[in-house]
């Protein structure tokens, strides 16, 4: 047998080069997201140069600049950053859990659950804090119900997909009904929320998501990424390698549902970020497996970028960010499917 010569170092080590590339992609996307943030903070009725923005954020601005940056504009970009990261992370987790590239929370019913909760609050005349609470509660309850229905001596990807698609259909109907029940003003507010918007976000909107990300992101990224990658190779194989598959699924599903719900509470059900970010990250890193860190950073860059476009595309008229992500994400998806068909894969 001819395998006894020394191998090039680059080749082995579980793909050191690929790992480096994954880290580089993550860092690059994070940098891009921060640049988008600075540009977004600089824009508006009182334009500021990027250097002024950075100086103000670091604490060297005038009182007026301080107010504009810290109170008016920063909460919005931080919301975009966190919502993008949370949705992307949850999307990557869902896609890996159900072993299906379309397995994002938008398509599995979790987002519709959040929407139903929020709409119920709007129709009954609740305020914005109650709306956020409704979104979280709706998402979590939907998550528990889907989990319970899909459970059969363990959680299996295809059952989760089927139950989730059913839940999506039911909840879409429920949401449509709730919209017709609301008065015109409420319905308009509900529609804006349903599109996904970052307008007028304050620190109180960001904090719950910030807290959740601070706890859940390390748990998922550090604790679950490797066993999740192993589990993608098959349940039996993963168990044979010592992964506690069902426990892992439970933890990851809970984390992903919480992140999706809190993101929806902060910005509404922003579409397609959870679906697109993992695909983009996989293409950029070229690495197998869930690529959680790179995906998280990609999501942050996607949503901050989309929000920048939403603010700047039409002078004097802001688009809801969900419109931009929907158009960009949907377009990307169609392109991806077309490219794969050309390559003969579907």
Partner 1 sequence: MTETIAYETSGQGNGVAGMHDDGPRLSGSALTLSYDKRVVAEGLDVAIPDKSFTVIIGPNACGKSTLLRALARTLRPAAGTVLLDGRDITSLPARQVARTLGLLPQTSVAPDGITVAELVGRGRYPHQRLLRQWSADDERVVRESMEATGVADLAGRLVDELSGGQRQRVWIAMALAQETPLLLLDEPTTYLDIAHQIEVLDLCARLHEEAGRTLVAVLHDLNHAARYATHLIAMRDGRVVAAGAPGEVMTADLVEEVFRLPCRVIDDPETGTPLVVPAARRRTETATR
Footprint of partner 1 on this chain (CB under 8 A)?
A: 1-5, 7-8, 10-15, 18, 152-153, 222-223, 226-227, 229-230, 232-237, 239-244, 282, 286-289
**Taking the complex as a whole, how short is the minimal distance between the CB of residue 16 and partner 1, in angstroms?**
8
The tokens for 12 are 């082995």
**Taking the complex as a whole, how short is the minimal distance between the CB of residue 245 and partner 1, in angstroms?**
9
CB 194 within 8 A of CB 63: no
**Taking the complex as a whole, how short is the minimal distance between the CB of residue 330 and partner 1, in angstroms?**
23
**Taking the complex as a whole, how short is the minimal distance between the CB of residue 226 and partner 1, in angstroms?**
7
Helix (H/G/I), strand (E/B), else coil: 314: strand
CB 89 within 8 A of CB 292: yes
**Taking the complex as a whole, how short is the minimal distance between the CB of residue 18 and partner 1, in angstroms?**
7
Nearer to partner 1, 9 or 58 (CB): 9
CA dist 72 and 70 (Å) reads: 6
15 conformational bin, left if phi > 0, alpha if psi -120 to 50, beta if neither = left
Residue 239: how many CA atoms within 13 Å on its side-chain side?
A: 7
Here the contacts of 64-73 (C-beta below 8 Å, separation 24 or greater) are 68/44, 69/41, 71/202, 73/40, 73/41, 73/44
Nearer to partner 1, 126 or 223 (CB): 223
Nearer to partner 1, 230 or 257 (CB): 230
Nearer to partner 1, 13 or 338 (CB): 13
**Taking the complex as a whole, how short is the minimal distance between the CB of residue 285 and partner 1, in angstroms?**
9
In which element (H, E) is residue 38 found?
A: helix 16-42
CA angle 185, 202, 138 (to 5 degrees): 60
In which element (H, E) is residue 274 found?
A: helix 273-285
CA dist 127 and 91 (Å) reads: 29
**DSSP, res 98:** T
The tokens for 301 are 């860059």
**Taking the complex as a whole, how short is the minimal distance between the CB of residue 153 and partner 1, in angstroms?**
7
Nearer to partner 1, 198 or 229 (CB): 229
Nearer to partner 1, 19 or 183 (CB): 19
Nearer to partner 1, 183 or 244 (CB): 244
């Amino acid at each position: 047998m001819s395998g006894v010569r020394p191998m090039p170092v680059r080749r082995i080590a579980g793909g050191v080069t690929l790992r480096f590339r994954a880290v580089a992609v993550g860092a690059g996307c994070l940098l891009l997201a921060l640049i988008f943030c600075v540009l977004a903070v600089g824009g508006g009725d009182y334009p500021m140069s990027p250097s002024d923005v950075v100086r103000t954020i670091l604490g060297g601005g005038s009182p007026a600049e301080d107010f504009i940056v810290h109170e008016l504009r920063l909460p919005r970009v931080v919301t975009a950053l966190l919502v993008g990261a949370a949705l992307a992370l949850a999307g990557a987790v869902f896609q890996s859990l159900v072993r299906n590239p379309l397995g994002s929370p938008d398509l599995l019913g979790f987002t519709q659950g959040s929407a139903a909760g929020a709409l119920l609050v709007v129709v009954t005349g609740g305020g914005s804090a109650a709306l956020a609470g409704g979104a979280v509660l709706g998402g979590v309850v939907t998550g528990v119900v889907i989990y319970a229905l899909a459970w059969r001596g363990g959680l299996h990807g295809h059952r989760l997909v089927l139950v989730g698609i059913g839940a999506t259909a039911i909840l879409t109907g429920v949401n449509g009904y709730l919209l017709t029940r609301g008065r015109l003003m409420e319905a308009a507010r509900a529609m804006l929320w349903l599109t996904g918007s970052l307008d007028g976000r304050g620190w109180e909107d960001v904090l719950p998501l910030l807290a959740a990300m601070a706890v859940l992101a390390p748990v998922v990224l550090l604790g679950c990424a490797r066993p999740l990658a192993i589990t993608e190779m098959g349940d039996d194989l993963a168990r044979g390698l010592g992964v506690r598959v069902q426990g892992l699924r439970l933890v990851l599903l809970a984390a992903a549902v919480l992140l999706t719900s809190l993101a929806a509470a902060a910005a509404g059900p922003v579409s397609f970020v959870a679906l697109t970010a993992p695909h983009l990250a996989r293409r950029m890193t070229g690495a197998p497996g869930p690529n959680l860190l790179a995906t998280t950073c990609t999501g942050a860059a996607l949503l901050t970028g989309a929000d920048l476009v939403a603010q700047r595309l039409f002078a004097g008229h802001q688009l809801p960010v969900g419109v931009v992500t929907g158009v960009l994400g949907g377009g990307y998806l169609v392109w991806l499917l077309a490219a794969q068909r050309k390559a003969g894969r579907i």
